[in-house]
Amino acid sequence: MNGRITTLNRLQRGIVPLVLLAVFALSPLVLKQYALILLTNTFMYIILAVSWSMFSGPTGYISLAPAAFFGAGVYTSAVLGFALPFPLIVITGGLASFCMAFLVGALTLRLRGIYFVMFTFGLVELLLNFVLWWEVTVTGTTGRVVPPLGNTTVFYFMLAILACLLLTAFRLKHSKYGFALQSIGQGEEAAAHTGIHVTALKMNTFALSAFFMGAAGVVMATRWTYIDPRIAFNPTLSFLPVLMAIFGGLGQLYGPIIGAAIFTYLEEFLITRFPYHYMLIFGITMVIAIRYLPDGLVGLVQKAWKQWSRRKHGAAQG
Amino acid sequence: MALLKGEKVTRYFGGLAAVFDVSFEVQQGEALGLIGPNGAGKTTLFNLISAALTPRPGAIYFKGRKITGLSPYRICRMGVARTFQTVKVFPDLPVLTNVMLGASFGASPGLSWGDAAEEASEILEFVELSAVRDTPAGELTLANQKRLEVARALATRPDLLLLDEIMEGLNPTEIARSMELIRSIRGRGVTIIMIEHVMKAIMNLCDRIMVLHHGSKLAEGTPGEIAASDEVIRVYLGERAHAGS
Ligand SMILES: Nc1ncnc2c1ncn2[C@@H]1O[C@H](COP(=O)(O)OP(=O)(O)O)[C@@H](O)[C@H]1O
Ligand SMILES: [Mg+2]
């Protein structure tokens, strides 16, 4: 009896994501090119925001490295270009970022607070300048051409990465390792003395999150078709996902999804309406949102819901 | 063979020797009391045993194996668990989850998350915290947070349990309950080292007492011997009698 109920619950929980996946999978049939590109963009930001929050949410280590891992994917795409079947390039790019994050993690995850933030951001600048130097002095080029794939193909690859990421993030969050990550954020010393291999868990999770950022970079590069180091390692791609995730709320998996979706559209809207001041308006909106929404949008809604249901309950009693 | 052995354990902070040249042995099944004035180095000694700090110089052996230089998580899995003088529960996680983490990661072999839930429930029953199992740990009273730390430590299935002032800040009723708890933990065959300023508890619960003063070992013996030692009375017990505690 009990078993049947939980199976049913599981099916019910699984149905919503599956329906959404089906809807998105069919959407290229009806969407215009512009809408499809916008949706792909949104997926990219969701991937960055969710994979960022997969590590930084529970542990409280604020990483500003997304642009570095994304950029590693972009360059993998440009270097491998025609050499491999595209799905293999996506995986290679992901693995490149995974390995890089693992090494960076080994060096930096002992740092706490602002030092970790600064080092991870320094990594973006370091890579940018290293690749710039390499391209100029070794290969003698400034930019590279990436073979284009077509908007629909790009969309499907982005959707596939997003689906894998969400499944991974969900399973991680509800596993013992998900709780161990939270315990690290709430008391790293106590976590270590409770038997948690804190360093390994942090490094692996940091690397896993970088895998998805790198994979997204590989796919996005094919849409840009021409890339150079400044496009690939754009610091904005470190800041935006972090702000989006915090704006949406880190407590729930759908927080960063909602945050990224809203801000991608907001950015698009502002760019078309206020082409000259959009960055300013965008930034101010972000700052205000984060200042007044400590638990993000999802936290705000949850609080409002609790108050409302309490009031309803109270009214029914009185 | 002693369960735990320390050889000339020393730790400096800058020029200050927080623990200096302390050698000790703890036998299987024993309860050792660790006392001394504030700043004597008691907590630092716990940090050295549990590998939060490394002795320099000195060596620590557990079950005959040298554990100096190992990571805290390894030492926990080998069977040394501890609590913290300033409580360090995971405040936003439910009480049950706090204990499950111990069972799942600290025990060796670690339990699956499902088995950990069962084991954690039993332990919460044992420490009488079942009623608050779903409460975020940070919302518990200080007394219950200290109990929760004991429960989390027990979940790692320790052979040796280090208790750092788990009665500090508790009222007399809570202290009595705490003493009861320590007795029943001993009943499970767990070896205990406890730091405590509550002399009644130390005298009643411990087989042996070690006194630290300015980082060095001042005296060691049965509760009766320690209570009768002029030197201990001079630097510690006498001072406490003056303070009226
Ligand atoms: N991490 C540390 N850094 C510097 N000094 C420390 C540190 N931990 C403890 N000390 C110093 O070492 C001495 C012993 O401290 P502690 O072991 O906490 O004493 P006790 O637990 O016996 O009260 C004190 O003088 C304390 O200030
Ligand atoms: Mg102390």
d(CA B81, CA A191): 12
Phi, psi of A150 (to 5 degrees): 95, 140
d(CA A172, CA A189): 22
The amino acid at B48: L
Which atom of ligand 1 approaches the CA of B36 most closely?
Answer: 22
Q: Do B106 and A180 touch (CB under 8 A)?
A: no
User: Which of B9, B22, B42, B43, when mutated, tests ligand 1's pocket best, judged by the most ligand atoms within 8 Å of its CB?
Assistant: B43
Residue A13: Cβ within 10 Å count: 10
Q: Do B101 and A186 touch (CB under 8 A)?
A: no
Provide the CATH topology of domain B1-79+158-245.
Rossmann fold (3.40.50)
Task: Inform me whether the pLDDT recorded for B242 exceeds 60.
Answer: no
**Across A70-97, average pLDDT:** 91
Chain B hits for A187, Cβ within 8 Å: 88-91
Q: Do B152 and A191 touch (CB under 8 A)?
A: no
Domain ranges for chain B, please list them. Answer: 1-79+158-245, 89-157
Among A194, A196, A197, pick the best mutation site for testing chain B contact (most B Cβ within 10 A): A194
Q: How confident is the model at residue A220 (pLDDT cuts 50, 70, 90)?
A: very high
Residue A137: Cβ within 10 Å count: 8
The phi-psi region of residue B128 (left if phi > 0; otherwise alpha if psi is between -120 and 50; otherwise beta) is: left
pLDDT digits (tens, 9 = 90+) for B48-90: 999 999 999 999 999 999 999 999 999 999 999 999 999 999 9
Determine contact: A189 vs chain B, CB below 8 A: yes
Contact call for residues A43 and A158 (beta carbons, < 8 A): yes
pLDDT at A305: 82
d(CA A146, CA B111): 49
Alpha helices, DSSP H, located in chain A:
2-26, 33-59, 66-80, 86-108, 113-134, 151-173, 176-186, 188-193, 198-224, 229-232, 236-248, 254-273, 278-292, 296-317
Which atom of ligand 1 approaches the CA of B47 most closely?
Answer: 17
Which atom of ligand 1 approaches the CA of B46 most closely?
Answer: 17
Ligand 1 contact via B6 beta carbon (within 6 Å): no
Highest-scoring range by mean pLDDT, A109-113, A295-299, B123-127: B123-127
Q: What is the ipTM of this complex?
A: 0.92
The burial class, CB within 10 Å (0-12 / 13-18 / 19+), for B127 is buried
Q: Where are the beta strands (DSSP E) in chain B?
A: 4-13, 16-26, 31-35, 59-62, 65-66, 80-82, 160-164, 191-195, 208-213, 216-221
Ligand 1 contact via B44 beta carbon (within 6 Å): yes
Å between A1 CA and nearest CA of chain B: 19
Task: Inform me whether the pLDDT recorded for A316 exceeds 70.
Answer: no
Chain B hits for A180, Cβ within 8 Å: 101, 104-105
Chain A hits for B153, Cβ within 8 Å: 194
Whole-model pTM?
Answer: 0.90
pLDDT digits (tens, 9 = 90+) for A27-83: 888 888 888 999 999 999 999 999 999 999 999 888 999 999 999 999 999 888 878
Determine contact: A195 vs chain B, CB below 8 A: yes
Task: Inform me whether the pLDDT recorded for A318 exceeds 50.
Answer: no
Å between A190 CA and nearest CA of chain B: 6
Sorted by where each starts, the structural domains of chain A and their CATH numbers stand as 31-317 (1.10.3470)
Which atom of ligand 1 approaches the CA of B45 most closely?
Answer: 17
| Centroid of ligand 2 to alpha carbon of B198 (angstroms) | 13
Å between B220 CA and nearest CA of chain A: 28
The burial class, CB within 10 Å (0-12 / 13-18 / 19+), for A305 is exposed
